[in-house]
Structure 1
Amino acid sequence: MTWRRFLAVEEIKVDETLDARGLSCPMPLLRTKKALQKLLSGKILEVLSTDPGTRNDLPSWCKRTGNEYLGEKQDKGFTRFYIRKK
């Protein structure tokens, strides 16, 4: 079992939101990479996804790339993921 850090959404100031709902692997990750390229360092991207694989893909990708995975929050029918660009 992996540990997931859950953050209070109210405490996160999102700079950009990527809606990847309805997309299957690997599209949420590919769109996340592209969206982060447009952001300045330190900015926060919120990713909305319905693909269950995203729960593993985003944290491990962040670890490999040096971006900071801030956590996730379950919503009705999808998950919100938060990433701070390195």
Structure 2
Amino acid sequence: MTTSLLDTPINHHLDTQGLICPEPVMMLHKTIRKADSGDIIEMIATDPATTRDIPNFCRHLGHTLVHQETLNEAPTYRYLVKKKSAY
């Protein structure tokens, strides 16, 4: 486990750079299925569609978008997603 700049523990790293819709969301969905409740997934993407798709994914499935930022390279997008708790 590593810690981000926000001191949020990161349990999973997902690099989707160079992939376009729908692959980044599909990969996030696969990673979340394998993660434990409360785990944080860091996702790096270059597809501008992820700025719309990742927040919608979280909202519709009940996960928490902890952080979203645009990095200066290329541009590159970074997301921290927290898997929802099991009921």
TM-score (norm 2): 0.84
- Structural mapping, 1:49-64, within 5 Å: 49-64=45-60
Partners of 1:54 and 1:18 in 2: how far apart?
13
Partners of 1:59 and 1:22 in 2: how far apart?
20
**Root-mean-square deviation (Å):** 1.3
Percent of residue pairs identical: 30
* Structure 1 runs (4+) greater than 6 angstroms displaced: none
1:40 pairs, out of 10, 19, 36, with: 36
Segments of 5+ residues of structure 2 without an aligned counterpart are: none
Counterpart of 2:77, as a letter, is T
* Bigger strand fraction: 2
> Is 2:65 aligned against 1:69?
yes
Partners of 2:42 and 2:32 in 1: how far apart?
10
| Residues 54-81 of structure 1: per-residue CA shift (max 9 Å, x gap) | 0100101111100111121222221111
Higher normalized contact order (CA 8 Å, seq sep 6+, divided by chain length): 1
TM-score (norm 1): 0.85
What is residue 7 of structure 2 aligned with on the other side? 11
1:80 pairs, out of 58, 72, 78, with: 78
Q: How many residue pairs end up in the alignment?
A: 79
State the SS of the aligned residue for 2:6: helix
Counterpart of 1:38, as a letter, is K
Partners of 1:11 and 1:64 in 2: how far apart?
26
Segments of 5+ residues of structure 1 without an aligned counterpart are: 1-7
